[in-house]
Every structure is written in C-alpha cells, then in structure tokens.
C-alpha cells in the first residue's frame, strides 16, 4: 500500500469506529474503511516482524565487528518502528492486544530484574549497552521482549506461524548456502567469514551451529505437519489412487503445498549439512537433545502412526551415536573413518584436557566464586569480565580472557544473581507449562509442530550450556518464545470460546493492556477522534525518530568512526579526531574506543613526535578518567593506563608513580590474571632501574 494511503488511514483507524454507543452511525462505507485501515496496520506490523528475520544476512564492513554491530542495530531499528505501528493497531483494534500470559509475564520480569541487577552491579553503562563486540545488554533484551509481544499477538493461526517460520527458515538456508559455498571455495567475499569451520555471514561457527540446529528442527516440523495434514484430510480411495498414479499432481492450493513441502525438506538437508560443517560440539549436543525430546514428546502425546514408530528409531539412532562416540575414543578400529572427517576428529577428541573445555570450566568456576560475593542481584548484566578477573587464576594454564561464561546458567547467576537466574528459569518453566497444555489440546497434526519447536527449545537450552548468546541466537530464542506465547494466547481464546479466525467485533481483552482506569479511558476517548488520532500518530513518529537517531544511528556512526583509526595512512591528529568523534557520538559504548586509543598509542609511542605525544597524553588522561567513571571496577582500563604511563615514564619519570597507582588497583581487581601479572612485573623492573 502506498505510504500516502497508509498515513491517510491513521485518522480512520483512530476514529471512534469501535465505540458501541456510535455503532448506529456506522455504514457500509465506514465498515469498509475500517477494514482497510486494519489491514494496512496489520500488514505493516507483519512486514516489520518478518523483516527482522533477515537480520542474519546483515554484515557492515564499515563498522567495528562487522558480523555483530550491524545485525543488532538493524533488528533494534525495525523493532522500534514496528512497535509504533503495533501500538496504533492494538489501540484501535483491541483483539490484537496481548491476553494474560505467563510466558510474557516471566519474560517481562526477567527484563525488570536485569535492570535492577544493572543498577546494583559494578557498571550500569555496560549493563545497559554491553560492548561493540557483543551488542547485548538490557536495552537489547528489552527489544527482544517487544519483538516477542508483537509477534505473539499478530500471528494467530498455524498458517500464520508457518509463514513466520518459513521466512526464518529461508533466511537460515541462504546463510547456510553462503557458508557451504565459501567452505568449498565456490565464492569469496569479505562479507562471509572463512575458516576450516563455516562461519557464513555470522562470523563465528558456534553461531551458525545454533542457528541451523533450531531451523533444522522447525523445517522438519513443518514438513511433517503438512504431510500428516494432507494424509488425514484425504479419503483412503484418493490415497490409493495417488499411489497408483504418482505422476498425477493435485491442482490449486495443493500445488503450493508440494512446493512448500519440497522447500522445507530441502532446507532441512542444507541446514543439516551446514550444521555438520560448523564442527560446533555444543550444537551437536543440542541436536541430540532435540532428537530425544521430540521422540519423548511424541511417544507420550503423539498419534499412533508412522511418526510414533519413528520415535523409537530416534532413540535407537541416539544410542548408536553415543556408542560410536565411545568406541571412537577407546579403540583404533575406527581411526580411518574419524581421521577422514574434521568434524568427527573434533567431536571424538573432546576431553577435560582440551583447551576449549578447560577454559570453559575455568571460566564457570571463577563465575561461581564471584557469585558468592553478590548472590542477590549479581555483578550486573554484561559485567562477567569483571567478576571473572576477580577470581581467575593464571596457574590454571588458561590464557584466554573470558567476558562471557560460556554457560547461560552461570552467566545469569553471576551477572544477575539468584533473582536473575530464577527469572530466566521462570521463562523456561512457563514455556514448558504452555507446551504440555497445548500438545494435549491441539489436533494430532498440530502436535507435530509443537513437538518439533519444543525439541528445538530444549536443544537451544542444551547448547547454551557451552556457548553464549549473540544477536542471531537471541533472535532464534525470541522466535521460539513468541510461538509459545502465541500458543498460550490460543489456549486462552479457546477457553473463552473465541476462535482463531474470529472476525467479529473487537473485544476488550482481560489482559494487562486493558483500559480500566478513568484516566486511561479519558485519554482513549480523546485519541479516538481524528485529530487525537493524528496527534497520537505524530507523537509516536517523533519518539521513534528520536530513538532511531540518538541511539541506533549514533551507535552506527560511532562504530564507523573508530574503524578509521586503523588506517595507517592518516596522521595522528586525524586519528585522535576519529577517536573523539566515536566517543562523542555514543558515550554508552565509548569504552571500547578508549581502550583502543590506549592500545594504539602504547604500541606506537616510539613513532610519535613531541606534539603528538602531548596530544595523546592529554586525550588519554581525559578519556581514561571518563572510562573509569563508566566502569570504575574495570581492571582492563587500569592496566591499560598503567602500561601507557610506564612508557611515558621514559620521558617523564613522575609518570611511573601514576602507573603504580593504576597497577595497584588493577591487581586488586584482577589479582591473578595474565595481564595483571605481566604489568606488575614490568613495573617492578622499571622501579628497580630508577
């Protein structure tokens, strides 16, 4: 619909069409106009939600961390715009408002406790905005809550959800194809990560593993759902005739079913191939959990058909895989087969002495010890690095620095405390409750999709015991939570006698978005006029525009400016200018550019002339103080400043005392880290040489 027509429909949408007292004034033209306005808003929200699913394809080569920053800002921008249109939709048409939902309530409580943990933690700024490298934080989590609420209210039938899942699956399949092609050298691009394990447009094999695992299960769910539906809806004579005449194709809608079924099966195969090539052991554990969960659910509640028989086979295959794993580790008979595959070697060689596994155990152990210091609300979201530094021990032999726990439960416990972990587990508990109720109430065909989505959720939970979230995996989690929340709303509509296809008069839901107070009704009455509707739309547009400019656009320009500092051809004056531009554009994420500034100057201090050195000293002194205001317990900032002042002491001996102050604080905050040990030793050498 053209934008002019859409804008013109806003006044009609927010006009008093739904007031019972004015129903006698309604005519056929007004009803038609209202229907058109409803469709305009609804389809716009649909388009916005579906557009978010294309986020995994976004790569911004002009920014820091091109596989992360652009994705997060793309999704947030779309969610904000979509949320504004959705607010207009639910105000004018109450049937789209969310009903009471334990899933949404639990997710909301999780966000609120995350915010409280941020205030109680060691750095609210980092808790809100995270870092350019991760782009998580409370703000990001709040956006995913909005996405879940919106999607769960506008997708109301299984056909709606199949469209939703199909778009998500199509994007995932394209990501898989790009990764597979790059793996076999079919094409090269700086927009596609390359390594022995496929990375595609996600930049990390572990993200690809989690992404493809979830969509593999959903693809199988939709394929089997369609197959079962067609089989049950056709008379036995038709089934027999089709078996005899395989070349005869059904007409009309069935033609599309065949193409969709082919797409889902093909996508499942492509994503399975990509999953295998990622070599992500956490995703393989998740895949086993997926298979066992689906088999268990279908054996308990599925129809007694071929899928139920297949469930026994799934248990058998899973057992065979476990036996193969044990034999490959304990005997040499399977060595030729294992050696021929990088993935098999990676899986069968896993052990507690493996560097990756050892690092994860060390990180989790440090996080659990840190939890004892702040057991109620933790250290604050995204502040795991601070907690890890306090309890890491370099005698462990681990050299990797951990800013994430690589275990979701430990991450929640350390950064958000007991309340944060309880809220996170409440989200999962609410979903389990809804799934059990839904799978008992749904028709046999619909139980198939529910079982596969449930299996994908369990697999996602299992793989997150070894990994951490990213924009893409957060999207997949939100997709599945939205489906479960939508199922809960279907259950409530079913209990109240409303059908999914209800097209009757708008009903005021009994949920948390009902207008019951006198003030709310007064505001609603004013907005239910053409002028009030236009004013409301303008205010929403202004708020969204301000959010886009001051948050998302400025984050993007800040991430772009700091990239320019790596250009070896520019002068130091220009480099300092780019640093200041990045820091000023978005102070919430400014500590990464500040650390990069300290690192670049420290590593190249011998090439600076007197004027450049004075400019660097002035800039670092100012921004170092601002960095510590934002993150007062950041041992990395203290140690980076210490290294800088150690080098400056060669021309200004008094700087050595400043370096000592930062080292003492850095060692206090992270006493047994490699960084603290190396910087302390260098300080002792310099002080001894004086």
Mean per-residue pLDDT, 50-58? 97
Query: Are the C-beta atoms of residues 384 and 367 closer than 8 Å to each other?
Result: yes
Structure tokens at 230: 């067609």
Confidence of residue 216 (pLDDT cuts 50, 70, 90): very high
pLDDT at 185: 84
Query: What range does the domain containing 66 cover?
Result: 1-92+515-557
Q: If DSSP codes are grouped into helix, strand and coil, which group holds residue 504?
A: coil
pLDDT at 194: 67
Question: From residue 176, how far is each of 347, 415, 460, 604 by CA, in Å?
Answer: 21, 33, 18, 41
pLDDT at 50: 97
Give the Cβ contact number of residue 408 at 10 Å.
Answer: 20
Same domain, 101 and 234: yes
Q: How many CA atoms lie within 13 A of 113 on its CB side?
A: 24
Confidence of residue 57 (pLDDT cuts 50, 70, 90): very high
pLDDT in tens, 112-147: 999 999 999 999 999 999 999 999 999 999 999 999
Same domain, 429 and 291: yes
Among 184-198, 304-318, 563-577, 587-601, the least confident range: 304-318
Confidence of residue 16 (pLDDT cuts 50, 70, 90): very low
Among 227-236, 522-531, 635-644, the least confident range: 522-531
- Scanning the structure block, which residue is given the tokens 């580790």? 329
> For the chain, what is the mean pLDDT?
85
Query: Are the C-beta atoms of residues 325 and 338 closer than 8 Å to each other?
Result: no
Q: Is the pLDDT of residue 60 over 50?
A: yes
Ordered DSSP codes for 119-150: HHSS-HHHHHH--TTT--HHHHHHHHHHHHHH
CA–CA separation, 13 vs 534, rounded Å? Answer: 10
Residue 505 is assigned to a structural domain of this protein = no
- Scanning the structure block, which residue is given the tokens 């004075």? 614
Decide which of 355 and 595 is more confident: 595
Among 270-284, 501-515, 566-580, the least confident range: 501-515
Query: Are the C-beta atoms of residues 131 and 592 closer than 8 Å to each other?
Result: yes
Q: Is the pLDDT of residue 70 over 90?
A: yes
Q: For the domain that residue 650 is a member of, what is the CATH number? A: 1.25.40
Query: Are the C-beta atoms of residues 59 and 191 closer than 8 Å to each other?
Result: yes
Same domain, 538 and 595: no
Q: Specify the DSSP element, H or E, that contains 57.
A: none
Residue 617 is assigned to a structural domain of this protein = yes
Query: Are the C-beta atoms of residues 175 and 155 closer than 8 Å to each other?
Result: no
Sequence-distant (≥ 6) Cβ neighbours of residue 631 within 8 angstroms? 122, 123, 125, 126, 386, 591, 637
Among 474-488, 526-540, 573-587, 672-686, the least confident range: 526-540
Mean per-residue pLDDT, 266-275? 94
pLDDT at 11: 42
CA dihedral 512, 517, 523, 524 (to 10 degrees): 60
pLDDT at 9: 47
CA dihedral 84, 536, 522, 519 (to 10 degrees): 50
Q: If DSSP codes are grouped into helix, strand and coil, which group holds residue 200?
A: strand
Among 13-17, 375-379, 384-388, 556-560, the least confident range: 13-17
Nearest to 275 by CA among 194, 213, 217: 213
Residue 353 is assigned to a structural domain of this protein = yes
CA–CA separation, 474 vs 478, rounded Å? Answer: 6
Helix axes 253-278, 205-233, angle to 10 degrees: 150
Confidence of residue 38 (pLDDT cuts 50, 70, 90): confident
pLDDT in tens, 325-335: 777 766 777 66
Confidence of residue 350 (pLDDT cuts 50, 70, 90): confident
Query: Of 557, 590, 607, which one is at a domain's C-terminal end?
Result: 557
Q: How many CA atoms lie within 13 A of 618 on its CB side?
A: 10
Q: If DSSP codes are grouped into helix, strand and coil, which group holds residue 58?
A: coil
Same domain, 281 and 331: yes
Query: Are the C-beta atoms of residues 634 and 390 closer than 8 Å to each other?
Result: no
pLDDT in tens, 640-688: 999 999 999 888 888 999 999 999 999 999 999 999 999 999 999 999 8
Q: Is the pLDDT of residue 457 over 80?
A: yes
Residue 250 is assigned to a structural domain of this protein = no
Among 7-21, 303-317, 346-360, 518-532, the least confident range: 7-21
Same domain, 166 and 31: no
* Count of the separate structural domains present in the chain: 3
Taking 3-state DSSP, the helix, strand and coil percentages for the chain, each rounded to the nearest 5, stand at 75, 0, 25
Same domain, 70 and 136: no
pLDDT at 117: 98
Q: Is the pLDDT of residue 375 over 90?
A: yes
Confidence of residue 380 (pLDDT cuts 50, 70, 90): very high
Backbone φ, ψ for residue 193 (5° rounding): -65, 145
Structure tokens at 544: 């969204």
Q: Is the pLDDT of residue 292 over 80?
A: yes
Residue 278 is assigned to a structural domain of this protein = yes
Nearest to 71 by CA among 130, 134, 149, 126: 134
Same domain, 532 and 576: no
Residue 199 is assigned to a structural domain of this protein = yes
Q: If DSSP codes are grouped into helix, strand and coil, which group holds residue 189?
A: coil
Same domain, 207 and 328: yes
Same domain, 39 and 169: no
CA–CA separation, 392 vs 672, rounded Å? Answer: 6
Sequence-distant (≥ 6) Cβ neighbours of residue 489 within 8 angstroms? 98, 99, 101, 152, 153, 156
Q: Is the pLDDT of residue 502 over 70?
A: no
pLDDT at 208: 95
Residue 280 is assigned to a structural domain of this protein = yes
Q: Is the pLDDT of residue 74 over 80?
A: yes
CA–CA separation, 45 vs 52, rounded Å? Answer: 11
Q: Is the pLDDT of residue 522 over 60?
A: no
CA–CA separation, 413 vs 364, rounded Å? Answer: 10
Backbone φ, ψ for residue 621 (5° rounding): -60, -45
Q: Is the Cα torsion angle 31, 37, 39, 41 positive or negative in sign?
A: negative
Residue 508 is assigned to a structural domain of this protein = no
pLDDT at 272: 94
Mean per-residue pLDDT, 458-476? 94
Ordered DSSP codes for 377-393: T-S-TT-HHHHHHHH--
Confidence of residue 317 (pLDDT cuts 50, 70, 90): confident
Confidence of residue 384 (pLDDT cuts 50, 70, 90): very high
Decide which of 339 and 5 is more confident: 339
CA–CA separation, 417 vs 412, rounded Å? Answer: 7
Sequence-distant (≥ 6) Cβ neighbours of residue 498 within 8 angstroms? 507
CA–CA separation, 366 vs 55, rounded Å? Answer: 34
CA–CA separation, 661 vs 679, rounded Å? Answer: 12
148-172 burial, b at 16+ Cβ within 10 Å, e below that, comes to: bbbbbbbbbebeebbebbbbbbebb
CA–CA separation, 324 vs 347, rounded Å? Answer: 11
Same domain, 659 and 553: no
Query: Of 528, 557, 586, which one is at a domain's C-terminal end?
Result: 557
- pLDDT above 90 as % of the chain: 59
Query: Of 495, 530, 548, which one is at a domain's C-terminal end?
Result: 495
Decide which of 35 and 56 is more confident: 56
Same domain, 153 and 266: yes
Give the global pTM.
0.89
Nearest to 421 by CA among 467, 368, 459, 458: 368
Same domain, 655 and 584: yes
Task: Quote the longest CA-to-CA distance of the chain.
Answer: 98
pLDDT at 535: 78
Nearest to 532 by CA among 4, 14, 5, 41: 14
pLDDT at 326: 72
């Amino acid at each position: 619909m053209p934008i002019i027509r859409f804008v013109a429909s806003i006044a009609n949408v927010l006009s008093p069409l739904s007031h019972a007292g004015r129903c006698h004034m309604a005519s056929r033209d007004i009803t038609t106009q209202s229907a058109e306005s409803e469709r305009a808003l609804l389809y716009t929200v649909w388009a916005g939600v579906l557009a978010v699913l294309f986020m995994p394809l976004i790569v911004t080569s002009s920014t820091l961390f091109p596989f992360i920053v652009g994705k997060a800002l793309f999704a947030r921008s779309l969610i904000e715009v979509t949320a504004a249109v959705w607010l207009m939709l639910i105000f004018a048409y109450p049937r789209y408002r969310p009903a009471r939902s334990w899933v949404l309530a639990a997710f909301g409580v999780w966000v609120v406790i995350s915010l409280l943990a941020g205030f109680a933690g060691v750095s609210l700024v980092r808790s809100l905005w995270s870092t350019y490298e991760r782009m998580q934080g409370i703000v990001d989590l709040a956006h995913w809550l909005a996405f879940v609420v919106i999607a769960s209210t506008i997708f109301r039938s299984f056909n709606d959800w199949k469209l939703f899942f199909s778009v998500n699956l199509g994007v995932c399949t394209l990501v898989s194809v790009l990764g597979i092609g790059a793996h076999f050298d079919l094409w090269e691009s700086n927009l596609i990560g390359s390594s022995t394990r496929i990375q595609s447009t996600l930049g990390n094999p572990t993200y690809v593993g989690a992404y493809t695992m979830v969509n593999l299960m959903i693809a199988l769910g939709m394929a089997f759902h369609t197959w079962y539906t067609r089989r049950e809806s056709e008379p036995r004579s038709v089934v027999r005739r089709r078996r005899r005449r395989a070349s005869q194709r059904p007409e009309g809608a069935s033609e599309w079913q065949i193409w969709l079924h082919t797409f889902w099966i093909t996508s499942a195969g492509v994503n399975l191939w990509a999953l295998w090539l990622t070599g992500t052991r956490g995703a393989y554990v998740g895949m086993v959990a997926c298979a066992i969960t689906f088999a268990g659910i279908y054996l308990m509640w599925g129809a007694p058909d071929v899928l139920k028989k297949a469930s026994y086979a799934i248990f058998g295959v899973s057992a065979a895989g476990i036996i193969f794993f044990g034999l490959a580790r304990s005997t040499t008979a399977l060595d030729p087969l294992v050696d021929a595959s990088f993935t098999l070697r990676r899986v069968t060689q896993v052990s507690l002495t493996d560097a990756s596994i050892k690092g994860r155990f060390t990180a989790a152990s440090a996080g659990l010890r840190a939890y004892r210091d702040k057991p109620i609300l933790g250290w604050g979201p995204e502040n795991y690095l601070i907690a890890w530094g306090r309890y890491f021990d370099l005698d462990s032999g681990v050299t990797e620095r951990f800013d994430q726990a690589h275990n979701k439960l430990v991450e929640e416990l350390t950064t958000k405390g007991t309340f944060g972990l309880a809220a996170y587990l409440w989200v999962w508990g609410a979903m389990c409750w809804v799934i059990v109720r839904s799978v008992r109430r749904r028709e046999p065909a619909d139980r198939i999709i529910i079982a596969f989505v449930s299996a994908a959720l369990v697999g996602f939970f299992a793989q997150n015991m070894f990994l951490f979230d990213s924009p893409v995996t957060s999207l997949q989690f939100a997709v599945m939570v939205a489906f479960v929340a939508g199922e809960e709303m279907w259950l409530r509509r079913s209990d109240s006698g409303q059908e999914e296809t209800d097209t009757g008069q708008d009903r005021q839901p009994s949920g948390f978005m009902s207008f019951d107070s006198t003030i709310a009704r007064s505001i609603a009455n004013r907005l239910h006029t053409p002028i009030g509707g236009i004013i409301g739309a303008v205010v929403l547009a202004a708020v969204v525009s301000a959010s886009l400019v001051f948050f998302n656009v400025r984050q993007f320009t800040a991430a772009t400016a700091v990239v320019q500092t790596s250009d070896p051809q520019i002068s130091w004056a220009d480099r300092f200018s780019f640093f200041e531009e990045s820091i000023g554009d978005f102070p919430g994420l400014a500590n990464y550019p500040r650390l990069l500034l300290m690192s670049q100057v420290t590593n190249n201090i011998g090439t600076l002339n007197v004027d450049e050195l004075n400019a660097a000293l002035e800039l670092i002194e100012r921004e170092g103080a601002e960095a510590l205001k934002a993150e007062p317990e950041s041992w990395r900032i203290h140690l980076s400043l210490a290294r800088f002042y150690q080098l400056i002491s060669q021309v200004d001996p008094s700087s050595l005392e400043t370096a000592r102050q930062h080292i003492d604080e850095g060692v206090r905050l992270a006493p047994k880290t490699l960084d603290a040990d190396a910087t302390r030793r260098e300080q002792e050498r310099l002080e001894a040489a004086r």
